[in-house]
Amino acid sequence: MTSSYQDKPWLKAYFLGPYKLKHSMEPYPEINVYSFLEDSTREYPDNIACVYADEEITYLKLKDKVDRLASAFVDLGVKKGTAVASVLPSCPEFIIVDYACMKIGAIHVPLSILHKADDLQHELKESKTEFVVCSYRRIPRVNEVKPQTDVKTIIYAPTKIFPDYVAPEMEDISEPGYHLLDELIEKHEPHTEQVEIDPKKDIALLPFTGGTTGVPKGTMLTHYNLTSNVIQTVHWMMDPLKVGIVGKGATAICVPIFHSYGHWSIHASISWGLKMFLMDPRDMVKIVEVINEYRPAIVFAVPAHYTMFCDMPLKKGQIFYYSAAAALPPELAEKFEKISGVPMGEGYGATETSAGATVNISAFSKVTGFMKQVKRGVGVPIPDTEIRVIDPETGEEPPVGEPGELWVRGPQVMLGYWPTPGSGLEENGWLRMGDMVTMDDDGYFAVVDRIKDMINVGGNKVYSRVIDDILHEHPAVEVAGVIGVPDPDRAGSERVKAFIQLAPEFRGKVTEEEIIEFLKDKVKPYAVPKFVEFRDTLPLTLIMKLHKKVLREEELAKLS
């Protein structure tokens, strides 16, 4: 019998191996995100909270630093609803800033450490940020854009980064408005005042994402969004195993924590009092060393990591390997499961869903004999997540098994795009995910294609429209555009390829290297095209737009 979306056939799949999982996690507590840290510190004060490079910090010490920074923020003029941006790598300082903001009701705006000046300026200006906490190495870039923004106060830290993990030599900055993070923490007493917040309405986090237009937009995530999503995901799917994990286990976070997936990983880890190993995503040797030596309960990584793990000396062990942020090819999952000896989990979501919307843990049921075969794909909707699949052309629901755009509604769905609640949402709070999906009769979903032209480079979003616009700034370019082509070296990832039609007078006079060089200081490193192809004419649509679908089909035909 064919299922329907209204039947919610995925509820039958709510098992972790032999263990039945709850159909709902309601009611979700209406709490401040800071409660996760407060509760875990009370229960496990002497447990190690995070490990980074050669540093360890206990939950008690982490909370003390958070509370002291919260006091410093208040003294500097940060109030409830004030935006505080961070430009930091995956490091303890990021977590301290994050939870200090949560405690006093400020809005944390996590910005990418890789941002070029244009992106940094746009997001600081758009969010009306006056306070920035950054790595000492990023002060010149923040200073470059500061005059065009509302930034008045810069707090900096000598963060250690890959590959040497050595703190930089710092010069004293005596100008007003600049503060050393450690000094602020040291000279302030812990903040004790309880700030009243409305978890369902007050914004906790304002990460920027491409949204539906390709132009980065602030995503308003409330305390309720963030805490609910942790409960819907890790607390739900790992519930049968929590006795052996809570307050005892560890996580290896191999993704940038300023990214929604990495940020979610932090909150999930802290909520259960786990030890977090904060890893630089590029340091594969160190990641494998940590996994082999410390045997974390959960590893949060992306498909590119699992591709590289397959060629590294990874020891077998009872570890839950989780993949998200990019499509996990079935052949990679199968290969890795043979090497590691354990089943993998896969998640799917977006910044707008506080990270998670679906999860695939079917491999656990297969390995324990409760399913005949693994269901590959993005899995089933997490508890209390409503799903619609809509044909974007007709607005109707297609038959089960036929592709349509995924719509999502649930406690984890954003308040809206900054600054207007409801912006970016359909009527009654539905979020259009922008992905074409199919559902089988068992309620498992698979992503068929992206609707928009966003390019996925190792989990990083590249906005093709931005690159297109910059290419058109080159005096020799007449028509240009970029697309994503599959990266043979990184499963689930793409490479950026540029197609250029030169103005007649420049044909034969511009090289691939010149175009790449032109883009290098204007976009993030991963957004620079790996290939440039010059053509006399490029395919155009009826309304004279570059026909990217044709270009993609041509590239895929070459691969087949």
DSSP codes joined into one string, 422-474: TTT--GGG-EEEEEEEEE-TTS-EEEEEESS--EEETTEEE-HHHHHHHHTTS
**Using 50, 70 and 90 to split pLDDT, how confident is the model at 360?**
very high
Residues 6+ apart with CB under 8 A from 481: 464, 468, 471, 498, 499, 538, 546, 548, 551
pLDDT at 368 over 90: no
**DSSP string covering 241-257:** GGGGTTTT-EEEE-S-T
Q: What is the Cα–Cα distance from 3 to 274, expressed in whole angstroms?
A: 39
pLDDT reported for residue 16: 87
pLDDT reported for residue 314: 96
Average pLDDT, the chain: 93
Backbone φ and ψ for 377, nearest 5 degrees, come out as 120, -170
**DSSP string covering 203-233:** EEE--EE-TTTSS-EEEEEEHHHHHHHHIII
Of 121 and 332, the one with more pLDDT: 121
- Average pLDDT of 93-104? 99
Of 23 and 368, the one with more pLDDT: 23
Helix (H, G, I), strand (E, B), or coil: what is residue 348? strand
- H or E element at residue 406: strand 404-409
- Average pLDDT of 316-335? 86
Beta strands in 286-403 (DSSP E): 298-301, 320-323, 344-348, 358-360, 380-381, 386-390
Q: What is the Cα–Cα distance from 78 to 67, expressed in whole angstroms?
A: 14
pLDDT reported for residue 213: 47
pLDDT at 479 over 90: no
Of 46 and 361, the one with more pLDDT: 46
**pLDDT tens, position by position, 423-462:** 999 999 999 999 889 999 999 998 876 777 788 999 887 8
Q: What is the Cα–Cα distance from 61 to 65, expressed in whole angstroms?
A: 6
**Using 50, 70 and 90 to split pLDDT, how confident is the model at 214?**
low
pLDDT at 408 over 50: yes
Superfamily (CATH H level) for 455-559 = ANL, C-terminal domain (3.30.300.30)
User: Which of 34, 85, 81, 44 has its CA nearest to residue 190?
Assistant: 34
The CATH classification number of 5-10+389-450 equals 2.30.38.10
- Average pLDDT of 124-147? 98
Q: What is the Cα–Cα distance from 213 to 223, expressed in whole angstroms?
A: 26
CA dihedral defined by 413, 414, 415, 421, rounded to 10 degrees?
Answer: -120
pLDDT at 228 over 70: yes
pLDDT reported for residue 127: 98
**pLDDT tens, position by position, 544-558:** 568 888 899 999 999
**pLDDT tens, position by position, 267-313:** 999 999 999 999 999 999 999 999 999 999 999 998 889 988 988 99
**pLDDT tens, position by position, 13-27:** 998 888 999 999 999
Residues 95, 99, 100: CA angle, nearest 5 degrees: 110
Backbone φ and ψ for 275, nearest 5 degrees, come out as -85, 125
All CATH 3.40.50.980 domain ranges of the chain, comma separated, are 53-191
**442-458 in b/e burial notation, b at 16+ Cβ within 10 A?**
ebbbbbeeeeebbbbbb
Q: What share of the chain has pLDDT > 70, as a percent?
A: 96
pLDDT reported for residue 453: 76
pLDDT at 216 over 70: yes
All CATH 3.30.300.30 domain ranges of the chain, comma separated, are 455-559
**pLDDT tens, position by position, 199-209:** 999 999 999 98
| One-letter identity of residue 186 | E
pLDDT reported for residue 243: 94
| 294-297 CB contacts, 8 Å cutoff, 24+ apart | 294/250, 294/252, 295/250, 295/319, 296/249, 296/250, 296/251, 296/252, 297/245, 297/249, 297/250, 297/251
With 0-12 / 13-18 / 19 or more C-beta atoms within 10 angstroms meaning exposed / middle / buried, residue 506 is middle
**Using 50, 70 and 90 to split pLDDT, how confident is the model at 541?**
low
> Helix axis angle, 260-271 relative to 92-104, nearest 10°?
80
pLDDT reported for residue 212: 43
Q: What is the Cα–Cα distance from 254 to 265, expressed in whole angstroms?
A: 10
> Which of 3.30.160.270, 1.10.287.3510, 3.40.50.980, 1.10.3720.10 would CATH assign to domain 53-191?
3.40.50.980
- Average pLDDT of 162-176? 93
All CATH 2.30.38.10 domain ranges of the chain, comma separated, are 5-10+389-450
